[in-house]
Chain A
Amino acid sequence: MPDDPIDATTFADLLETVGGDREFLAELVETYRADSPSLFAELRAAVAADDAASARRAAHTLKSTSASFGAQRLSGMCREIEAAAAAGNLVGLDESVELAATEYARVEVELRRRASADEVT
């Protein structure tokens, strides 16, 4: 699927990395789903408060964890936010954050589906 928010190869690699343990993979997805909303909240608050350092850190973490699951588009969006924050440029960043949050919603649905599926496809 060209529009798949999750890269199948990366996701399969992750399963292999954790020793093929699907249950454990499902736990990882749960951890990600539990942590990400508060990171988005931090990111929004930081952008609103013009706090570049906090924005950068939250975007960095989201970039890194999303990449682990193969959420490449989302990870790329977060990387751009991180770079802008690192450069101290928060103007218009709230819009980028909302776009990333929308992408996250798609990622989250797809991850849940894959985690409960019998096979990684």
Chain B
Amino acid sequence: MSEPGGRILVVDDTRLNRTILARALQTQGHEVVEADNGRVAMDLLEAEGAGGIDVVLLDLEMPELDGYETLRRIKAQEALRDLPVIVISAVEELVSVVRCIEMGAADYLPKPFNAAILQARLSTSLAAKRLRDLERAYLKTIDRQRSELARFLSPQVAELVSSPDGEALLDGHRRVITAVFSDLRGFTAFAETAEPEELLDMLREYHAEMGRLVVEHGGTLEHFAGDGILVFFNDPVLQSDHEQRAVRMAVAMRERFEALQGAWRKRGYELGFGVGMAVGHATLGRIGFEGRYDYAAIGTVVIMASRLCSEARGGQILLNQRAYAAVEEIVVGEPVGELALKGFSRHVPAHNVLGLRSDLDAGPGDEAV
């Protein structure tokens, strides 16, 4: 066999057995490390870490720390658990072998030793060890790719890319979603006059704060476009309360914006925050071209949210009929009439959300007492 040798730890208290095994293993192209009892073996394994040893050949009867206890300790350690352990056993001790295999031993080596059996058992265990090492390395790579991907994509979409169900969802599907579109009033004028560094600093701060709220409420961020933010809910992860999550996020964003605006005003920026929110069917999936794909929602619901946002004055959160009906119980709203929206032949009845019932009930009322 031309397979490369491994690094084998031989644990046996009998010098003669160690000597025979060491020579046999060296003859077969392996490197040998010896320990004369379990305690020495454990110290060695812990010092070398998981990568140092490929297979352990373990005698059972030893002073200080016997084979059973050594095996138990190896299997109890996360870092050593996958290390194959072959127990050395005389034929008449087969009962002990069964016990060891139940405890996690990979195989056993009969005494007296036989070169062919030693080679066969060892190469099986070595192959298993190498496969497991490879698997660990792959898993580490996937983890790294996933966390790197999550920095560019919304976490839900990053998760999709590396999950088996994800492929089907990416291929495209139709679903009811809540779309939330928000942007800043007065941003274009501000962008024209501000210094580039100032503009980018301000946007970074704004995106960081709003992005945190998107994640907190479980929204899928489709994109940031300058001051515009499109977030949808109920996809790719289904959310039975997607409308309510969306409106809570919109209200939280408006509050957060007001705090930011307080600081910006001191620097001379005068901006307003508006939101449009709609519920309806959309087609979701991968769009774009090889080399640059996006996960996107397409449908009138998205356009509706965007148009409602355009209609909203600073501080308004405008909802279409279906969205308002779904959140009526938890918000205080006011009708703003039927709006003529670009691209929609019929006028759209809309509501503005003044706040969450829970906040409004607890807020000023308490102070009055």
Contacts and interface: CB of A to CB of B under 8 A. Distances in A.
Interface string A82-113: 00000000000000000000000000000000
A70 interface: yes
Contacts of A65: 14, 16-17
B323 to A, nearest CB: 79
Interface string A40-79: 0000000000000000010011011101111000000001
A111 to B, nearest CB: 12
B27 A19 contact: yes
Nearest to A82: B61
Contact of A35 (B16, B23, B24): B16
B240 to A, nearest CB: 65
A17 B114 contact: yes
Contacts of B13: 61
Nearest to A56: B61
B16 A18 contact: no
Contact of B20 (A10, A17, A63, A79): A17
A13 B112 contact: yes
Q: Is the interface of A mostly helix, strand, loop or mixed?
A: helix
Contact of B16 (A31, A60, A70, A79): A31
B92 A14 contact: no
Contacts of B115: 13, 16-17
B23 to A, nearest CB: 5
Contacts of A32: 16
Contact of B113 (A14, A21, A24, A57): A14
B90 interface: yes
A64 B111 contact: yes
A18 B15 contact: no
Q: How large is the interface on B (under 10, 10 to 19, 20 to 34, 35 or more residues)?
A: 20 to 34
A84 to B, nearest CB: 15
B118 interface: yes
A13 B114 contact: yes
A16 B116 CA distance: 9
B24 A17 contact: yes
B16 A10 contact: no
A28 interface: yes
Contacts of A70: 112
B24 A19 contact: yes
Given A67-B112, A68-B111, A31 B15 contact: yes
Given A67-B90, A67-B112, A70-B112, A18 B27 contact: yes
Contacts of B15: 31, 35
A57 B63 contact: yes
Contacts of A67: 90, 111-112
B111 A28 contact: no
A17 B113 CA distance: 7
Interface in B111-145: 111-115, 118
A31 B23 CA distance: 14
B239 interface: no
A67 B16 CA distance: 11
A28 B16 contact: yes
A61 B24 CA distance: 20
A10 B113 CA distance: 9
B92 A79 contact: yes
Contact of A17 (B14, B16, B90, B118): B118
A24 B26 CA distance: 13
Nearest to A29: B16
B188 interface: no
Interface of A: 10, 13-14, 16-19, 21, 24, 28, 31-32, 35, 57, 60-61, 63-65, 67-70, 79
Interface of B: 13-17, 19-20, 23-24, 26-27, 61, 63, 90, 92, 111-115, 118
Given A17-B113, A17-B115, A57-B61, 14 more contacts: A16-B114, A17-B23, A17-B24, A17-B114, A18-B23, A24-B23, A35-B15, A35-B16, A61-B13, A64-B14, A67-B90, A67-B112, A68-B20, A69-B112
Please name the 3 residue pairs, one residue from A and one from B, whose CB atoms are nearest each other, closest first: A19-B27, A17-B115, A18-B23
